[in-house]
Amino acid sequence: MSRRMLIAGNWKMHGLRSDLGFFDALAVHAGKGNAEVLVCPPSTLLSAAAERCAGTAIRLGGQDCHTGATGAHTGDVAAVMLHDAGARYVILGHSERRSDHAESSSLVCAKAGAALAAGLTPIVCVGETREQREAGEAFDIVAAQLGGSLPAATDSGIVIAYEPVWAIGTGLTASASDVARMHAFIRTRLPEPATTRVLYGGSVKPGNAAELMALDDVDGALVGGASLDIDAFASIIATAG
């Protein structure tokens, strides 16, 4: 199987210039194994992080982008601007965007198209809420989000992140068997199942990463809280080989 593992840190609304030393420490771990290592800091830090990471194996990404390339959109950031600042990936449709900003799958799809046009690899997030899982709707919800969020006919290296909403930032993780089932299901829904990387996210920690990363259809992790701690993030990276 030719899918390279991807360990991605999602810093969310954390990080100041005084935190840039993190990248010097991370560079050692990013160069060691076979996994690709990505950090998505707030967009205010992208340029400085890119300078700091020059010559290292660390990749950088944004956390969201607008659908347009330029225009009168106060407060928004275009995909091409993220690319210009040094990003090569962008997280899209994270559940916090879907809930805090009422982002629909069709908006996520338009953003993914803009990201691809700007030369960024979108990491499209999907995942059910606790109520949806308890109601037995998890697979239908994820199928609908995938169907609505992925641009047609992409063989572009788009990345999917399965993040059950109830596992994000809660310390709860889906069981390995639930993750295995959902990832296998997601793969059946992808236009390019053999090459598309499907990450797991939701309270990934050093203590659970090895079991999750060993699953056949898990091609890496999207890590929130633990990506802010260099020791925790480094040990998660190490589980990916």
SS3 (DSSP) at 185: helix
Q: Is 201 in the site for ligand PGA (CB under 6 A)?
A: yes
Task: Give the E-state strand segments of the chain in sequence order.
Answer: 6-10, 36-40, 58-62, 89-92, 121-126, 159-162, 198-201, 220-223
Q: Is 90 in the site for ligand PGA (CB under 6 A)?
A: no
Q: Is 61 in the site for ligand PGA (CB under 6 A)?
A: no
Judged by CB under 6 A, which stretch of 61-69, 114-122, 181-189, 201-209 contacts ligand PGA?
201-209
Q: Is 223 in the site for ligand PGA (CB under 6 A)?
A: yes
Q: Is 38 in the site for ligand PGA (CB under 6 A)?
A: no
| Cα dihedral sign, 17-19-25-31 | negative
Q: Is 10 in the site for ligand PGA (CB under 6 A)?
A: yes
Between residues 163 and 217, which has the closer beta carbon with respect to ligand PGA? Answer: 163
Between residues 80 and 237, which has the closer beta carbon with respect to ligand PGA? Answer: 237
Q: Which of 18, 84, 29 is nearest to 227 (CA)?
A: 29
Q: List the catalytic residues.
A: 94, 163
Q: What's the one-letter identity of residue 124?
A: V
Between residues 80 and 111, which has the closer beta carbon with respect to ligand PGA? Answer: 111
Residue 99 burial (C-beta neighbours within 10 Å; 0-12, 13-18, 19+): exposed
In our burial notation (b when 16+ CB lie closer than 10 A, e otherwise), range 125-134 reads bbbbbeebbe
Q: Show the binding pattern over residues 112-151: x = contacts ligand PGA (CB under 6 A), - = does not.
A: ----------------------------------------
CA dist., res. 9 & res. 4, Å (int): 16
Q: Is 165 in the site for ligand PGA (CB under 6 A)?
A: no
Between residues 67 and 203, which has the closer beta carbon with respect to ligand PGA? Answer: 203
Sites of contact with ligand PGA (CB under 6 A): 10, 163, 168-169, 201-204, 222-226
